[in-house]
Structure 1
Amino acid sequence: MRKFTSLAAAIALLTGCALGPDYQARTPDLPDQWPEHELLGQDTGDWQQWWTRFDDATLNALVERALNDNLNLQVQIQRIEQARAELGLSNANRWPSLSAQANATRERTPETVSQTGTEYISERYAVNGVLSYELDLWGRLAREREAASALLAQSVFGTEAVRLNLITDVVTTYFNLRAAEQQLAITRETLGTREETLVLEEVRYESGASNPLSIRQARASLESTRARLPQQEQRVHELRSALAMLVGYSPRELLSELNFGDAKLTEIELPDSVPAVLPSELLQRRPDIRAAEEALVAANARVGVAKAQRFPSLNLQALGGSVALDSDNLFTAPAEMWSVGANLAGPLFDFGRTRSRIESAEAQLAQAEAQYQLAITNGFRDARDALVIYQTSDRRVEAVRRQAEAIEETLELAELQYEAGSIGFYELLDAQRGLLDAELTLSQAMSDRLAATATLFKAMGGGWSMPRS
């Protein structure tokens, strides 16, 4: 009895010990604060749906549909289900398995091997239940569960990262589309003005107030403006197709007329602040960083799995049931049978297979460590670049707006002086071309500033928060 107790205590002690390193969270060298930035405010309101801060109903509807219908996001969601099923399998391995088996045989024994010298026919019936259980002596099963749990978390965080990227892509593509539509409208409006200028110049020529060169210059300016249209129309078409793909349009919808409303770029609200988060909080807010850390946890656990495979496994088995030569005797007291046993098996000579598995697992752990550090570095680079890009895009919008206003004033003065005969037609055309270029540049600059704001939301972790388990 004392020996049995000692054996049971030893087994209990071994089953509570897991080989391999326990995961220790890394503490990277992080700055205490972000550089001072005008957009990083103290607004602590609800920023989970940060795209609604642009106050555009069409954009909100597109993001909502993308979250429901985008195929890439659906693939990621199914990967979560796969990881959850694999975790369930690892959890099931903790417990004994109970199986049932039944068999019936009818056998003819020839006289050549019969002990009685005559052939005979025998029957055998058996119904058994088998209970088997593997003692986790070295923590292999525990490490497998740890790895499976981390991979599930990685799938969840990876899906959140895809979701955040998808929202940002929809938002920035929508802004680019509105800018392209505005540029197309500006060019078409300018084309109409150029046509009127050509007609007026032809009237002036007939009255002797102009010359053939001015006519040709007016016509060249008209055709130059007209030549911009095909490329701008193609740009609008491509952006509509890209946006339709992002939000999950069906093939039938893609081949139909794509209509995303008639909202104007100038009507989109620009958020005046973004919630300021500490650099240390970025590690928890960025789902891509969280996913990389969970991959590191899984790789760390797989080292323990590989090390545990060097040692023997102990399997316990119990069998009970009924065996009889006649089916009528099954489940009677004389037909009862049982057996208990244990099986201890492990590698002796595997010619380096186990060692290679351990070295492979350790190499994968080193890779996961480097990828985690890279994810952190990329996250902070994204945040830094987003802050700088927003600042530069904001200054660019203001500079181009002042440029456009100055050119517009110049054009008004040029028209007056041309009517008075103080300047030639070329100077007037130069002012007109300058205004068109400035208006197109201003439209793109406004789109870039809106996109920079969305990118900053993404770099700071968006409106993402820790998913509930």
Structure 2
Amino acid sequence: MPTEIALTKRINGVKLPLVAQILLALGGCAVGPDFQPSAGPQVSGYTASALKRTDAADGSAGTAQRFVNGADVSAAWWKVFRSRQIEAFIREAVDNHPDLVAAQAALRQAREVAAADTSALLPSITGDASVTREQVPAAQSGLTGPASLYTLYNTSVPVSFTPDIFGGKRRGIEADLASADYQRFQLEATYLTLTANVVSAAISDASYAAQIRVTEEQIDGQRQLVSLLEQQFALGAVSNSDVLTQKAQLAQTLATLPPLQKSRAQNRNQLMAYLGRLPSQDRGEAVQLENLRLPRDLPVSVPSLLVRQRPDIRAAESQVHQASANVGVATANMLPNVTLSASGGSSALKLSEFYGPQAAAWSVAASVTGPIFDAGSLFHTKESKVAALEQSSAQYRSTAITAFRNVADSLRAIQSDAALLKAQVEAEKTAAESLQMSQAQFKAGSTTFITVINAEQTLLTARINRVKAQASRYADTVALYQSLGGGWWNRVDEAPAAAVKPAGIAAIFVPAGALPEQPAMPAN
């Protein structure tokens, strides 16, 4: 079988030379605990009771949704709303938001640190060449006579190597690679948060716009009614109290409009920030709530896979890995170190003698250093790393619990808000019928105008609540996709800015496949 040759092999996104890879592959010989990823919790679901199909209601936001256990999450999950404007917002945010640029740079920084620290596994070789013209008085040697004038040509190539006998350096590189993994999942978390925030802000903007539209329609109707009552009062058909009551109702409705406009403006400013724009660069693009669609099928990942899908859990796991490796580093620091050194070169008074055997100079040395008495400093340093590992492990468990709670909250919100929307739609229909009946009774003289006013206010409240319930259904779907990890494992979020820069040194060849790469996600 032909062997494919590659310049370097990539481990966790970091290119390492052959020798460094071989030494890292021997990491089982290193002191300290060997990190093992945590298995997912052994539960069959996210909620105490079984999930049921949601209630249906009139309108696009009332689509009945069913939960599909074990279904994968799409990489571009926001497309389920079938809104080109939302897709345009997402593209702009991903291209322009500085948080993503910062996350890409942080990932490259961590990888560069890991690549730099691998040099500790290899010998250090330096070179030195010099030419010295020197005059030495004879008196300096206790003699008399003329001074000695000569030219000295000298070269030297010192080599130093400290074998990683107890694996302290390997554990340090392991910690660096875990830190790079942490930054990688921080990038995924930033991407997920940004995309979810963009969609949520767009939905909120559509909700505020619809509430403002409903309120303005109600204001127009109330103004027309005030004008009609004033005409009837002039004819003596109604009392002045009826006119004043309607004007008071109009004033109350008008008072609800500025808070909605303020909330929408602030939400628009937040949306612009997510897009990487300034508030003054708002071009007015907006999503219409009635044009959005709900997906009929919602994915529900297998609980054991959630710990591999949530970026925050993976980031917390990387911190546990880094803390585990740091225990090994601290343990190795308590043990002796062996340093091997050698030097070879030439010294001659003439260039013609420079390469002769009489000009050769060399030395070989070995040394052992180790702690004898440090008043317990190294021991307590190691124990502090052990405590840090225990802390990271506890924080990992807390992050996992929070993640499962997020999914459960989203699932329950989807079911509850579907029932709420159904109830709000019915409430709006009933309020509209009640207003029509009250108006007819008032014209017939069988009820008071206060009854009509109350019916108007009830209908306005019902319409506003129905709009809020519609927006909540879309927002709940966003929250579910976000709580399940957002499908990052089905796309590539890394940009060239996150890649390690080439060192520009002579490459060390290694057969491709010599070392296994760590997969980004286990197979479903």
Same structural fold, with TM-score higher than 0.5 when normalized by the shorter chain: yes
Shift of 1:173: 1.3
Shift of 1:298: 1.3
Residue aligning to 2:273:
245
Gaps of 5+ in 2: 1-25, 54-65, 493-518
Residue aligning to 2:238:
210
219, 222, 247: which one pairs with 1:191? 219
* Residue 320 in structure 1 maps to residue 332 in structure 2: no
Shift of 1:226: 1.5
Q: What is the root-mean-square deviation of aligned Cα atoms in Å?
A: 2.2
Partners in 1 of 2:462 and 2:171 — Cα distance? 63
1:133-282 pair list within 5 angstroms: 133-249=161-277, 251=278, 254-261=279-286, 263-282=287-306
Matched residue type, 2:38 = R
Larger % of helix: which? 1
Contact between 1:15 and 1:138, CA under 8 Å: does it hold in 2?
no
Alpha-carbon displacement from aligned partner over 1:136-171 (angstroms, at most 9, x marks no partner): 111112211221222211211121122112111111
Partners in 1 of 2:86 and 2:262 — Cα distance? 22
Alpha-carbon displacement from aligned partner over 1:75-129 (angstroms, at most 9, x marks no partner): 1111110111122123332222322122344455456533324554554332222
Partners in 1 of 2:97 and 2:254 — Cα distance? 37
Partners in 2 of 1:226 and 1:465 — Cα distance? 49
Matched residue type, 1:382 = N
Shift of 1:243: 0.6
1:1-20 pair list within 5 angstroms: 17-20=29-32
Residue aligning to 1:442:
466
Structure of higher RCO (CA pairs closer than 8 Å, 6+ residues apart): 2
* Residue 292 in structure 1 maps to residue 316 in structure 2: yes
- Sequence identity, in percent? 29
Contact between 2:71 and 2:301, CA under 8 Å: does it hold in 1?
no
Query: Cα distance 1:257–1:368, how it changes in 2: closer, same or farther (>3 A)?
Result: closer
Shift of 1:176: 0.8
Alpha-carbon displacement from aligned partner over 1:385-440 (angstroms, at most 9, x marks no partner): 11112222111111111111100111111222222222222111111111111111
Gaps of 5+ in 1: 1-13
Q: Number of residue pairs matched?
A: 452
Residue aligning to 1:4:
none
Moved more, 120-129 or 232-241: 120-129
Alpha-carbon displacement from aligned partner over 1:24-81 (angstroms, at most 9, x marks no partner): 3334643123442234225847711111101111111111222222112221111110
Residue aligning to 1:33:
45
Matched residue type, 1:103 = S
Query: Cα distance 1:84–1:123, how it changes in 2: closer, same or farther (>3 A)?
Result: same
Query: Cα distance 1:17–1:45, how it changes in 2: closer, same or farther (>3 A)?
Result: closer
Partners in 2 of 1:344 and 1:126 — Cα distance? 30
Shift of 1:131: 2.3
Matched residue type, 1:204 = Q
Contact between 1:15 and 1:135, CA under 8 Å: does it hold in 2?
no
Partners in 1 of 2:385 and 2:211 — Cα distance? 55
Partners in 1 of 2:327 and 2:289 — Cα distance? 54
96, 99, 108: which one pairs with 1:69? 96
* Residue 350 in structure 1 maps to residue 374 in structure 2: yes
Partners in 1 of 2:67 and 2:165 — Cα distance? 53
Residue aligning to 2:405:
381
110, 127, 130: which one pairs with 1:100? 127
Matched residue type, 1:155 = Q
Contact between 1:15 and 1:136, CA under 8 Å: does it hold in 2?
no
379, 396, 401: which one pairs with 2:425? 401
Shift of 1:455: 0.6
Contact between 2:40 and 2:303, CA under 8 Å: does it hold in 1?
no
Query: Cα distance 1:32–1:16, how it changes in 2: closer, same or farther (>3 A)?
Result: closer
Residue aligning to 2:326:
302
Residue aligning to 2:154:
126
Residue aligning to 1:3:
none
Partners in 2 of 1:280 and 1:172 — Cα distance? 28
What's the secondary structure of 1:191's corresponding residue? helix
Partners in 1 of 2:426 and 2:154 — Cα distance? 94
* Residue 422 in structure 1 maps to residue 446 in structure 2: yes
Contact between 1:386 and 1:456, CA under 8 Å: does it hold in 2?
yes
Partners in 2 of 1:209 and 1:329 — Cα distance? 128
* Residue 88 in structure 1 maps to residue 112 in structure 2: no
- TM-score, normalised by the number of residues in structure 1: 0.90
Partners in 1 of 2:427 and 2:238 — Cα distance? 30
Matched residue type, 2:68 = G
Partners in 1 of 2:449 and 2:352 — Cα distance? 116
Partners in 1 of 2:134 and 2:190 — Cα distance? 63
Partners in 2 of 1:293 and 1:299 — Cα distance? 10
